């Protein structure tokens, strides 16, 4: 019998929270979802590729090519683009599906493999060993990640199918924190949507605590682009006090075009439809708010589309 994890922390569950049979593991690996986080009881949204161009590209970067999954409308034209930043499990099927959802709405969506240097074979999506996940993700320091974001934005600006004036970013879990940091670094971004990303510095001895850097609560004054943040009231890794501190920091900095939405009954990972923590109502509301936020800040895709929660 399968025991599904309770993914209520941004770092993932504790090892004892998760146990999957060999048969169950084989099934989810075939589907391409993250082994560590997959719930056997989930019914993930599956987005087809009809009307889309889907490919893996190599983004030029100082240390070498950076792989990235791209989904975009097949019809000719220039489209707004959204950079999709993954969870700690890398670019697995859920992240690829999110890119296809954006593409169905008329966006060029790109998900870079930020952990590629330490995980060239994408083992993060296949392992049940969270110690390995922590080790790999821990190699992706903030400076390196910001360098990768810059490289991806440069690549997007050079593509004939991208409207370079309409660039947005969204990210989930680990990627949610990246969104806040990127919107403080890159003025070319028009808007950001951060899903349950860490706001304050982790404990020095905790996961990612050794990365000497600023965290979202420390860079509010530097935000170039407005950010909408989505958080769960039952997230065991991101306390509501941090959410309230971010709201206060945004007010103090006069960032009235940014906001933080709290879903009191939602857990960490509430948008991840392949997990037991999925909250359909919160996910739908946040997705709708995200699209409206992009549209209000000149980061709409460029064509009128309606699909899924849009």
Q: What is the pLDDT of residues 222-245, one digit of tens each?
A: 999 999 999 999 999 999 999 999
Exposure letters 6-18 (e unless 16+ CB within 10 A, then b): bbbbbbbbeeebb
pLDDT at residue 15 is higher than 90: no
Residue 153 is assigned to a structural domain of this protein: yes
Which of 92, 119, 242, 268 does the annotation list as catalytic? 268
115-142 tens-digit pLDDT: 999 999 999 998 889 899 999 999 999 9
pLDDT tens for 246-259 read 999 999 999 999 99
Range of the domain at 84: 15-296
The model's confidence at residue 303, banded by pLDDT at 50, 70 and 90, is low
- Residue 3 inside a domain? The answer is no
For residue 302, is it within any domain? no
pLDDT of residue 31: 65
**Do the bridges between strand 66-73 and strand 52-59 make them parallel or antiparallel, or are there none, so unpaired?**
antiparallel
pLDDT at residue 178, as a whole number: 98
Number of domain units in the chain: 1
224 as an active site residue: the answer is: no
210 is catalytic: no
Q: What percent of the chain has pLDDT over 90?
A: 76
SS3 205: coil
171 inside domain: yes
Which tops the pLDDT comparison, 282 or 64?
A: 282
Residue 212 lies in a domain: yes
Q: Which residues pair with 52 in a beta bridge?
A: 73
Residue 16 has pLDDT above 60, yes or no: no
State phi, psi for 307 to the nearest 5 degrees. Answer: -155, 145
Active-site residue, selected from the candidate residues 97, 119, 235, 273: 235
Query: Would you say residue 275 has pLDDT above 80?
Result: yes
Beta partners for 70?
Answer: 55, 110
Please indicate whether residue 235 is annotated as part of the active site. yes
Specify the CATH number for the domain of residue 44: 3.40.50.1820
Catalytic residue selected from 99, 119, 173, 293: 173
């Amino acid at each position: 019998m399968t025991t599904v994890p309770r993914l209520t922390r941004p770092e993932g569950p504790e090892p004892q929270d998760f146990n999957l049979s060999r048969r169950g593991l084989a099934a989810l690996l075939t589907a391409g979802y993250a082994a560590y986080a997959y719930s056997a009881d989930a019914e993930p949204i599956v987005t087809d590729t009809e009307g889309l161009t889907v490919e893996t590209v190599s983004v030029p970067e100082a240390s070498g090519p950076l792989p990235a999954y791209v989904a975009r409308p097949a019809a000719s034209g220039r489209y707004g683009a959204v950079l999709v930043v993954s969870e700690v499990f890398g670019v697995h099927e859920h992240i690829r599906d999110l890119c296809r959802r954006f593409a169905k709405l008329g966006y060029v969506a790109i998900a870079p493999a930020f952990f590629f240097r330490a995980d060239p074979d994408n083992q993060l999506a296949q392992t049940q060993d969270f110690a390995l996940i922590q080790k790999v993700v821990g190699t992706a320091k903030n400076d390196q990640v910001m360098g990768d974001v810059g490289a991806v934005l440069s690549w997007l600006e050079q593509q004939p199918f991208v409207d370079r004036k309409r660039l947005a970013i969204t990210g989930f879990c680990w990627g949610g924190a990246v969104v806040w940091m990127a919107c403080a670094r890159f003025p070319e971004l028009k808007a950001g949507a951060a899903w349950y990303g860490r706001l304050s510095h982790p404990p020095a001895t905790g996961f990612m605590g050794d990365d000497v850097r600023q965290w979202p609560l420390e860079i509010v004054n530097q935000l170039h682009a407005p950010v909408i943040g989505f958080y769960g009231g039952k997230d065991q890794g991101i306390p509501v006090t941090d959410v309230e501190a971010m709201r206060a920091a945004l007010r103090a900095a006069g960032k009235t075009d940014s906001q933080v939405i709290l879903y009191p009954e939602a857990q960490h990972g509430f948008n991840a439809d392949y997990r037991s923590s999925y909250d359909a109502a919160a996910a739908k509301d946040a997705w709708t708010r995200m699209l409206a936020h992009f549209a209000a800040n000149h980061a709409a895709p460029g064509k009128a589309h309606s699909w899924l929660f849009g």
